[in-house]
Amino acid sequence: MPTALITGSAKGMGRAMALALAKDGYDIAIHYLNSKEAASNTAQEAQNYRIKSKIFQADLRNAEEAKGLIKNVADYFGSLEVFINNVGNYHKGKLSELKNNDWHEMLNSNLNSTFYCCQAASHIMREQQFGRIINFGFAGSEFISAKPSIVAYQIAKTGVILYSKALAKSEAKNNITVNVISPGIIETSISQPLSEIPMQRLGKLEEIVGAVRYFLSPVASYTTGTTLEISGGWNL
């Protein structure tokens, strides 16, 4: 069976993706930082689909731990066909009050973690001559516009898109696709300004899962370096 690693998959959106791919027949690597019990519960539920699932702990802000996670998953399952990068903290507040620690945390947890993991995962996929990488941005992160209250987060996520495009171009010859899903306001989002969404509703986890399934499907084998927004028209 092919193996999928979803970072931050103990809870929420990551958990939904992990269980969906388990249902689709993937062996699942569940990554967590602090939520060991939740990760174990997700892995146990995934095993109901008669696939292998194991939990792995790592702080992906640390380059060595990120590299170690990828290696440990590939060693345990014997391969790594799918890597979904779902981690990244969020910060919102007045720009005048943005602290150095918050700035670095946004870059470390969103952009640097993506770089560390993707560099390691693409190395394994290159040897396999196959791989599917999905990173996460946020709706509007492709466009340069002033968002003072989330500027550190915005810069990190825009960086994820630029890095993903570069990696997609570099690895296309190796049958590795790299794409980005940019959610808007989802049912699990911390902030839920419903009035700003043209469709006047929150996004559903199943809609994120649908995008993941598309990028992993054979019909998307010629699709790489793209960003798919799932946002109900938010930030248009």
Active site residues: 153
Mutual angle of helices 151-171 and 113-128, in 10-degree steps: 10
CB 234 within 8 A of CB 139: yes
DSSP output for 156-215: HHHHHHHHHHHHHHHHGGGTEEEEEEEE-SBTT-S---GGG-TT-SPBPHHHHHHHHHHH
Sign of the alpha-carbon torsion through 117, 56, 181, 214 = positive
CB 176 within 8 A of CB 126: yes
Rg (CA), the chain: 17
